[in-house]
Structure 1
C-alpha cells in the first residue's frame, strides 16, 4: 500500500513539474471559482437581456450625399417550397428611409410572391389583434421576391408597438403561408 501511495506521489510530482503554466492556470481558475462563489458581481446578478433581432444599417447616397437608413428582421420560421426553392426560405420585413420616402418591404430569401394584376394583398397580425389586410405593390424591377406595403405609415405605427407580427402572403404554386417575426425592441426615429 505504501509503495502504491509513493508511486502516485512521485507521478503527481512529475506531472506538475512538467507544466508549471498549467498548474498556474489551474490555481488561477481555482481562485476565480472561489471569487465567484464568495460574491456575485453586479453584472452576473442582473438577468441577461435578450438582444433585438433587428439589424440596423445606414449608407450614404453617392449622388445626393444624403443618408439612407435600413432596419431588417428575419422570420423566426422557415417556409418550405417545392423545387427549385426547396431547402427552407426565410421571410424578412425591411423598413427603409431613402430621401424623403419611408418604405416597408416584405421579402423572401427563396421563392416568389404571387402577384395579381388587380392588386396584391398580404394579411398582417400585430400581437393578438385582429389581422389587417395591406395592399402591396411589386418592385419597379419586376422581381417577385419582395412586396412594398402601400400604406407604410400605418404599418410602421402598428409595428412600433408590436412584439410579434405574423404576415400571411400568397406564394407562387404554394398558396398561403405565414411568416412569423419577433419584432420587440424595434427602434425607428427616421
Structure 2
C-alpha cells in the first residue's frame, strides 16, 4: 500500500513538472526508482534525540499526585496487517500512591501472554540480557505490560544509556524495542 502511494505520488510529481530536457526526466525517474526501492525495506524511525518526558496528574477526589516519566522507542515495530505502519513503543515509569510501576506499551498490536512464560529479555547498554517477568494489566489490555521486579529494573535503567526490550508479539515473533534511556531523573 505504501509502495503504491509513493509510486503514484512520484509519477504525478514527474508528470506535473515542466521538463525541458530528457536528462531531467531520467534523473527524476531514477530518483523515483531509488525511493521506491528504499520503501520496500522501510522501517519508520523517530528522531534520535528522544528524551525522557515528565508529567504529573492530580486525582481530583483525593488530591494525590501521580508522577510519570516516559520515553518513546527509537524505531517502529514491524508488524503485519492490521497492525502495520508506524508503531512505536513507550517505556513508562509511574509512581502512584507510593507504588512504582514500570510499563511497556505499544501503539498497536498484541503483546503475547503465555500463562506459563510471561518473560521479556532486557539488555542495558552492552551488559548481558536479563530476563524479567511481567504482568498483564488489570483490564487485560494486550498492548501493555507491567515489568515485575521494578527495583532491579529501575536500578539498571538509571545507569544505562541504551535499553533494549525484546517483546513477544502475537503472530509477529519477538521484536526489539530500543530506547535511549540516559539522563533519567527519577
- Shorter-normalised TM range: 0.7 to 0.9
C-alpha displacement at 1:119, in angstroms?
3.8
Structure 1 residue 135 corresponds to structure 2 residue 133: yes
1:46-68 superposed Cα distances (whole Å, 9 cap, x missing partner) = xxxx9661110001112321110
CA distance in 1, matches of 2:126, 2:81: 34
The one of 79, 85, 88 equivalent to 2:86 is 88
CA distance in 2, matches of 1:170, 1:119: 10
TM-score, with normalisation over the residues of structure 1? 0.71
- Report 1:1-190 matches (<5 A): 53-188=51-186
2:24 alignment counterpart? none
Between Structure 1 and Structure 2, how many residues are aligned? 139
Q: Which runs of 4+ in 1 moved over 4 A?
A: none
C-alpha displacement at 1:100, in angstroms?
1.4
C-alpha displacement at 1:88, in angstroms?
2.3
Aligned residue for 1:125, secondary structure, equals strand
C-alpha displacement at 1:110, in angstroms?
1.1
Is the CA contact (8 Å cut-off) linking 1:110 and 1:145 kept in structure 2?
yes
CA distance in 1, matches of 2:50, 2:164: 17
The gaps in structure 2 that reach 5 residues or longer are 1-47
Aligned residue for 1:133, secondary structure, equals strand
The gaps in structure 1 that reach 5 residues or longer are 1-49
Is the CA contact (8 Å cut-off) linking 1:114 and 1:144 kept in structure 2?
yes
Task: Say which one has the larger Rg.
Answer: 1
